[in-house]
Each structure stands twice: as C-alpha cells, then as structure tokens.
C-alpha cells in the first residue's frame, strides 16, 4: 500500500467555490498522508491568479502561453517530476486536455460542482480513464448517472466542507435582538444564476407587510447598477445598504450581523455561501433547487424553502420569524449545529481519503497514453462559433464587450 498520495487539482488561487474547496480540504487531507497541489496553467489563468489566496502548494505552469498543447505538455512533465499519483482536472482546459497523454500509473478522478450542462460535460471529460467521480449534492449525482451516462459504481456523494473556526464568534451572536430584522445577501450581483433581481420584489412585499427590516447587500457584478436603481426608494430611506465586495476576513462579521440570509440562486452546486451562513448561525431563505438547497437546508428547522420567485411566500416566513423571535433564535442555533455535524472539512476529507486510497489500490487501467502528435484540446472548451480566434484575442474581445454591456 502506498504511504503518501500526491494529487494535482486544477484551479486558480482566487475567490471562488473551486479554490475554496481546495483551501478547506488540503490541510485536512494531509492528516491521511494525501498531499494536494493546486495547479493553474497558461496566460489566462496567470491573469486570474491572486497572490493573497496562494499557499505553499499552489503552482503556476506555462504562464507565458495561450497554447493549450504547450500547457498540457508542461502539466504532464510537472506530474512526472512531482510523482503525482492522481489528477483531478475540474475546470482546467489544459489538464483535461492532458488526460489522454498521462502515464498509465496516474489515476484520474473528477468532481462535479455545478448543476448545468457544461459542468456535467467537463466532469465526464476523459471518461475512459475515470476511476472515481465525486458529486457534491444528490442532484448532481443523479443528473450525471441519468443524463450523462456516468458509471454508478464509481460515483461518490460527498458535500463541501466549510471550516467552522472563522464563524465561531458569529454563531454565538443571538439573533433577533434588534427591533429591526437584519437581512443579508452576499454574492455576485447578477440574475442568471444568483437571482438578485428577485430582491426588489421581496423588498416591496416586506414593505407592504410592514415588516421592519434592513437589508445589507454585499458583492459586485454585472447587474449592480440595475439592482441599485430598482431598490433606490428603500436605499434613500436607509432600509437598504450596498456594501460592495467583501474580503474573506469581512465575511464572518457580515454574517454575524445577519439574522436572515437571503439566498435567491436559480442553480448552484453545493453552495459554500449557504454553508457559511449556516455555520455563522443565520436562518436562510432560499428557492427550492431539488437535490441541492433541499439537501443543505432542513425545512422549518435550519431555514425555509420556496418555489422559485415566490417572494410572497418568502415574506410570509420572514414575517413568522419577525413575530416569533424565539423561533428565530432556535433555528439560528440549529443551523449552526447542523452545519458542524454535516459540512466540515474533516468530514469531507475523511470521505475523500477513503475513496482515493481505494483508487490507488485498484489496478491501473489498460489504456496506453496518446502520443503528442495525436493531441486534441478538450472539446468542451471550444465554441463552434469562434474556434479560429486566438485565445488571447478572444479574451480581449470579451472584456471589451463586457464594458459596453455593463
């Protein structure tokens, strides 16, 4: 049996769910003799790299090229140099493109964290070599098996884990002590995924029901100006505050001052923001996303679930908590305890370690690596409409378009 296991994990050190997963699980896995390296590749990921998030195991390769083949070659060489045992490509075009060229001894696993088509397709990249697939919620597991032909025998349901330590003080705050309910939203200010344009209707219904509230909105995004305009009447009365983006050190304090956490997302994986709110003792209000939010929250115990866009129902539940502050406090305590029983890095790491050890102990698959003259970029990252555009030019065009759109 191999004593230590080295894993290459595709991500970039920056604020985001994928890197947060790495940051939380890496030290917890080391207790099991499993050492994870976060690998970023190419000029595009180099531009996203934030030194404040990097740690001793973050690596940047082929930083001066947009060429995917060169990035993939650099990755394979690095894997051999570092004696990497397992590769988890995640959302890295270069790493997923390198999978067919990896030495036979290197095992390949994947992790699905997003409930949309592209997320599912990249999870199944290099499926001939996959020896384990991790899904972070039941919805993702079911979709992969039923719609994307994943092998149930190698599927493993393991949710995200959040370090409770930064939220200890926040969880000790007694909720509902102020006359005015403190509501909070924290996330990207865009509507397609995060559903922020439901907030104006929510606020309008709160006002109609004469519920005393203050809503703090933290984050940045494409729909900030539109949201600010829609909420302007309540901003002028002091009932709403726009705080802008928060750094990681500011998040626990924000949640400590939040009684009720508003989570209007349309789709997610296993949302870290919701787990952090629970850790901090917030009572959460969310739309029902089958196999995701109804997996994280326990209806009427740690939060409330509602049909998508049913702001009237959400306001009814907020009104219940406003009128019954003892229930608000009880649910706050239950949320904090439940998060610590189900969603910690230690629990996540123990489950991953068991599977990864089993993968290493399995025979290697009898698949010979492809030669580099057979290289093809992973097709899931190529848009049919613009395959001819150089990667650097495509990025600059997108940046210019975003300026005009926003």
Q: What is the CATH number of the domain that holds 208?
A: 3.40.50.2000
Q: Looking at 82-198, list the stretches that DSSP marks H as alpha helix, in order from N- to C-terminal side.
A: 93-98, 117-123, 138-147, 168-172
- The residue from 324, 342, 360 where one domain ends is 342
DSSP E strand stretches across 11-151: 34-41, 58-61, 86-88, 107-112, 130-135
What's the rounded Cα separation, in Å, for the pair 102 and 394? 29
Note whether 293 and 274 are within 8 A (CB): yes
Mean per-residue pLDDT pooled into runs of 10, the chain (406 residues): 90 89 93 97 96 95 97 98 94 94 97 92 95 96 97 96 95 95 97 97 97 97 97 97 94 98 94 96 97 97 98 98 98 98 96 97 93 95 51 56 45
Both 22 and 114 in one domain: the answer is: yes
What's the rounded Cα separation, in Å, for the pair 16 and 19? 6
Q: What is the pLDDT of residue 386?
A: 41
**Vertex 330 angle, CA 164 and 249, to 5°:** 30
Both 262 and 350 in one domain: the answer is: no
User: pTM of the prediction?
Assistant: 0.86
- The residue from 294, 325, 342 where one domain ends is 342
Q: How is residue 26 written in tokens?
A: 């890496």
Indicate the SS3 state at residue 241.
strand
Residue with tokens 């200890």: 168
Both 327 and 283 in one domain: the answer is: yes
Q: How is residue 153 written in tokens?
A: 């025998």
Indicate the SS3 state at residue 344.
coil
Q: What is the pLDDT of residue 248?
A: 87
Both 278 and 359 in one domain: the answer is: no
Helix-strand-coil split of the chain, %, nearest 5: 45, 15, 35
Please, what is the angle between helix 272-279 and helix 17-30, to 10°? Answer: 60
Note whether 60 and 49 are within 8 A (CB): yes
What's the rounded Cα separation, in Å, for the pair 9 and 110? 10
Q: How is residue 277 written in tokens?
A: 């709110």
Both 364 and 337 in one domain: the answer is: no
Both 219 and 258 in one domain: the answer is: yes
Both 9 and 143 in one domain: the answer is: yes
What is the chain's length? 406
Q: How many CB atoms are closer than 10 A to CB 236?
A: 9
Indicate the SS3 state at residue 8.
strand
Both 146 and 179 in one domain: the answer is: no
Which residues span the domain enclosing 115? 5-161+345-405
Both 123 and 194 in one domain: the answer is: no
Any bridge partners for residue 351, and if so which? none
How do strand 58-61 and strand 34-41 relate by DSSP bridges? parallel
What's the rounded Cα separation, in Å, for the pair 201 and 222? 19
**Burial classification of residue 136, based on how many CB atoms lie within 10 Å of its CB (0-12 exposed, 13-18 middle, 19 or more buried):** buried
Both 216 and 365 in one domain: the answer is: no
Both 334 and 400 in one domain: the answer is: no
- The residue from 296, 327, 342 where one domain ends is 342
The conformation of residue 265, written as its DSSP 8-state character, comes to -
Both 297 and 278 in one domain: the answer is: yes
Q: What is the pLDDT of residue 399?
A: 55
Tally of domains in the chain: 2
The conformation of residue 216, written as its DSSP 8-state character, comes to E
Q: What is the pLDDT of residue 379?
A: 92
Residues 6+ apart with CB under 8 A from 203: 215, 231, 234, 239, 240
What's the rounded Cα separation, in Å, for the pair 340 and 344? 6
């Amino acid at each position: 049996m191999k004593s230590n296991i080295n894993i290459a994990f595709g991500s970039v050190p920056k604020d985001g769910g994928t890197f947060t997963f790495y940051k939380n699980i890496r030290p917890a896995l080391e207790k099991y003799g499993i050492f994870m390296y976060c690998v970023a590749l190419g000029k595009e990921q180099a531009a996203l790299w934030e030194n404040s998030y990097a740690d001793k195991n973050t690596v940047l390769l082929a930083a001066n090229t947009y060429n995917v083949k060169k990035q993939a070659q650099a990755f394979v060489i690095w894997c051999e140099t570092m004696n990497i045992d397992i590769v988890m490509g995640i959302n890295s075009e270069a790493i997923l493109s390198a999978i067919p060229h990896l030495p036979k001894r290197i095992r390949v696993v994947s992790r699905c964290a997003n409930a949309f088509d592209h997320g599912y397709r990249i999870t199944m990249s290099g499926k001939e070599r996959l020896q384990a697939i991790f899904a972070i919620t039941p919805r993702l597991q079911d979709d992969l098996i039923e719609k994307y032909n994943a092998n149930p025998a190698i599927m493993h349901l393991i949710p995200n884990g959040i370090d409770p330590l930064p939220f200890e003080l926040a969880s000790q705050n007694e909720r509902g002590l102020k006359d005015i309910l403190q509501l909070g939203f924290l996330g990207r200010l865009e509507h397609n995924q995060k559903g922020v344009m439901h907030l104006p209707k929510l606020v309008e219904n709160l006002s109609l029901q004469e519920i005393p509230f203050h809503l703090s909105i933290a984050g940045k995004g494409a729909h900030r100006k539109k949201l600010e305009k829609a909420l302007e009447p309540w901003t002028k009365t002091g009932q709403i505050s726009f705080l802008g983006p928060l750094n990681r050190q500011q998040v626990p304090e924000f949640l400590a001052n939040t009684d009720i956490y508003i989570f209007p997302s349309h789709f997610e994986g296993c949302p870290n923001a919701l787990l952090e709110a629970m850790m901090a003792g917030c009572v959460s209000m969310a739309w029902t996303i089958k196999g995701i939010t109804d997996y994280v929250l326990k209806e009427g115990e740690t939060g409330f679930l509602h049909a998508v866009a049913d702001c009237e129902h959400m306001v009814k539940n907020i009104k219940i908590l406003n009128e019954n502050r003892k229930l608000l406090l009880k649910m706050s305590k239950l949320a904090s305890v439940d998060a610590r029983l189900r969603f910690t890095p230690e629990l996540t790491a123990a489950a991953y370690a068991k599977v990864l050890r089993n993968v290493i102990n399995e025979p290697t698959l009898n698949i010979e690596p492809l030669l580099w003259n057979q290289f093809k970029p992973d097709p899931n990252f190529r848009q049919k409409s613009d395959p001819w555009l150089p990667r650097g030019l495509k990025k600059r065009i997108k940046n210019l378009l975003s300026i005009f759109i926003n």
